[in-house]
Amino acid sequence: MIEYWRSTIGKKQVVAITGAILVGYLILHMLGNLNSAFGPGADEARVDWYAHWLRDFGEPLLPHGFVVWVVRVVLLGAIITHITGIVQLVKRNREARPANFPARRIGRSVESIAMLGTGTLLIAFIVFHILQFTTLSIHVTPVEPEEVYANLYYAFQEWYFLAIYLAALILIGMHLRHGVWSMFQTLGLDNPNRNAKLRHGSTALVVVLVAGFAAVPVLFFTDVLDPPKTTAVITALSGVPV
Amino acid sequence: MKFTLEIWRQFDGSDENDKGRFETFQVEDIDPDASLLEVLDQLNERLSREKQRNIAFDSDCREGICGACSLVIDGTPHGPQQVTSCQTYMRDFIDGQTITIEPYRANTFPVIRDLAVDRGALDRVIQAGGYISTTTGPQPDPNAMPVSPEVQEQAMDAAICIGCGACVAACPNGAAMLFTGAKVTHLNVLPQGQPERQDRVIGMVEQMDAEGFGGCTNYGECSRVCPQEISIDVIGMLNREYRKAKLTKKSKPDKAMTTQ
């Protein structure tokens, strides 16, 4: 196993597998987000119900919030391994070529060249995203615990939050357009007969993913979705800054 | 036709103080059907007459099948036409243009002199598994070892690799994955390659890493300069063979095969 990690191919395959875990999470995250599109609801917003359901999952067999924490630990592990592998590979790759003679671009895609840049920016975005909607530490718009729908609604009334999230989605799209197809190639799951399908399928997955993620902030910003009904947040908005 | 040639000069690549530099040469009265190597020959004859040091470069068959020639022409290994350097003709360039000629740029290919680089690293990758260990004997019955046309085609599409190293020179990571992938694909799909299938891929990948080649990031530049148009499918095959070998291989390499 150590030998496998030491070899360039083995390390890249670990990077591919951890990448696949992260993409798998993104798909679930995107589907979960779409619960917001059901609006504030009569009694409770569907996305709030979904958030509670995630935390209550498995009760009473599992403790409260267990599944959420398992997912968080797995994701953190995957991201750390992904980054460690890439940093080591990039170092190796740079040592293999004289620094003052970069390879001329013949046909490589913008996405593939930008992988390191988009990846780095995405780490910054993930930190920001967690601070905003998980730890609720960014108080530009009113944020209240347990009020997912309201938090989203007020955040995406602001054009700059919409812009940040759409920009992040462009980064994700670029990173995954090269990354998802690359994963099949790196793991050797490709096959000359289905390579075209894998490439197009990867692009289609990325388009669906980005469109699904973009839908929620855009729907909030364009007022297609109604304001939340929770009184607590409304007083917070009209009153003193939280 | 006439051209301005910017040619890399480096007397001794192993000398740390000799960093190398470009020198400019003017060449005139060039036949459009002359190859770039013939222009270098003419230039060398002139340099000899002028008692100057000739430009060192590799070439052998000059018909695009040996893989000896190794120039980076205007930044692209083997030049603009996706053929070997020796098959690059002056009609491919615009009259009066400046042509930059460099050696392959990869730390695994140290410059020997001027445009000649040491590609021994590729030979050592071959030595680590790019062979089959058959004992000699009577010719086997052809029907005893059936090979389907598809498999034969796949093997030959990979075996066509001439080992010129342009893939390494084109790769932003200086990786030899296309070369190694071609060799592994060629031998691992054929029945003769089966006994050493796992040792081969593990040995060649370990040697590739030990030589200091980079890793694949699926840019695909290697395939775009390959004079034999080898597809990066062979890299997928290499990745697959390596993964399977690492997951299923139990014992140390079996030496019994080679010591028979």
Same domain, B231 and B185: yes
Q: What is the mean pLDDT of residues A69-80?
A: 97
Q: Which residues in chain A have their CB less than 8 angstroms from residue B216's CB?
A: 8-9, 12, 185-186
B81 shares contact with chain A (CB less than 8 Å)? no
Residue A1 has pLDDT above 90, yes or no: no
Q: Is B9 helix (H, G, I), strand (E, B) or coil?
A: strand
Q: In this structure, are residues B141 and A62 in contact, taking their beta carbons and an 8 Å threshold?
A: no
Q: What value does the mean pLDDT of chain A take?
A: 91
Token readout for A93 is: 């790759």
Mean pLDDT across chain B, nearest whole number?
Answer: 93
The CATH code of the domain that includes B43 is 3.10.20.30
- The verdict on residue A225 lying in a domain is yes
State yes or no: pLDDT of A192 exceeds 80.
no
Of B116, B141, B168, at which residue does a domain stop? B116
Range of the domain at A197: 2-97+110-238
Please judge whether B215 and A9 are an interchain contact, meaning their C-beta atoms are less than 8 angstroms apart. Answer: yes
Of B170, B172, B239, the CB nearest to A9: B239
DSSP β-bridge partners for residue B101: B7, B73
Task: Express as a percent the part of chain B with pLDDT over 90.
Answer: 85
Q: What is the ipTM of this complex?
A: 0.89
Residue A242 pLDDT class (50, 70, 90 cuts): very low
* Chain A residue at shortest CA distance from B236: A188
Residue B250 has pLDDT above 70, yes or no: no
With 80 as the cut, is the pLDDT of residue B214 above it?
yes
| pLDDT greater than 50 at residue A241 | no
Which residues are within 8 A (CB) of B4 and not within 5 positions of it... i.e. 6 or more apart? Answer: B24, B25, B26, B96, B97, B98, B99
Both B151 and B238 in a single domain?
Answer: yes
* Rounded Cα gap, residues B211 and B209, in angstroms: 5
Q: What is the pLDDT of residue B141?
A: 84
Are B112 and B124 members of one domain?
no
Closest CA to B220 of A190, A8, A107: A107
Contact B205 A9 (CB under 8 A): yes
pLDDT at B163 over 80: yes
**Which residues of chain A have a Cβ shorter than 8 Å from any chain B Cβ?**
3-4, 6-13, 89, 92-98, 101-109, 112-113, 115, 178, 181-182, 184-192, 195
pLDDT computed for residue B256 by the predictor: 54
**Among B62, B91, B116, where does a domain finish?**
B116
Q: Residue B254: pLDDT above 80?
A: no
Taking an 8 Å cut-off on Cβ atoms, the answer to whether B246 and A112 are in contact is no
**Alpha-carbon distances, residue A103 vs A98, B75, B169 (angstroms):** 10, 8, 8
- Examine the pLDDT at A116 and tell me if it is beyond 50: yes
CATH number of the domain that B229 lies in? 1.10.1060.10
**Residue B54 above 90 pLDDT?**
yes
Evaluate whether residue A197 is within a structural domain.
yes
- Does A157 reside within a domain? yes
Residues B178 and B220 in one domain: yes
My answer on whether B15 and B36 are in the same domain is yes
A125: domain CATH number?
Answer: 1.20.1300
Please report whether residue A24 resides in a domain: yes
Residues B95 and B176 in one domain: no
pLDDT digits (tens, 9 = 90+) for B3-34: 999 999 999 989 989 999 999 999 999 999 99
Instruction: Say how many domains are in chain B.
Output: 2
The H or E element that residue B21 is part of is strand B21-27
**Residues B128, B158: one domain?**
yes
Which residue, of B116, B139, B163, is where some domain finishes? B116
- A45-54 confidence digits (pLDDT tens): 899 999 999 9
**Same-domain pairing of B111 and B128:** no
Q: Do B212 and A96 touch (CB under 8 A)?
A: yes
Q: Which pLDDT tens digit goes with each residue over B41-52? A: 999 999 999 999
Closest-CA residue of B relative to A114 is B219
- The reply to whether B172 and B234 lie within a common domain is yes
pLDDT score of A195: 82
Q: Which comes out higher in pLDDT, residue B234 or A43?
A: B234
CB pairs under 8 A between A and B: 131
Please state the rounded mean pLDDT for residues A195-220.
94
Domains held by chain A: number: 1
Does one domain contain both B126 and B243? Answer: yes
- Considering CB atoms only, which of B106, B218, B238 is closest to A96? B106
Interface test with A, best of B157, B177, B219 (most A CBs within 10 A): B219
Predicted pLDDT at A43:
83
Banded pLDDT at A2 (limits 50, 70, 90): confident
Enclosing H/E stretch for B23: strand B21-27
How many of the other CB atoms lie within 10 Å of CB of A166? 15
Q: What is the pLDDT of residue A119?
A: 97
Are B17 and B87 contained in the same domain?
A: yes
Q: Is residue A7 in a domain?
A: yes
Domain extent at residue B153: 119-259
Q: Does B248 touch chain A (CB under 8 A)?
A: no
Same domain as B124, residue B106? no
Q: Compute the residue count for chain A.
A: 242
The lowest-confidence range among A140-154, B72-86, B147-161 is A140-154
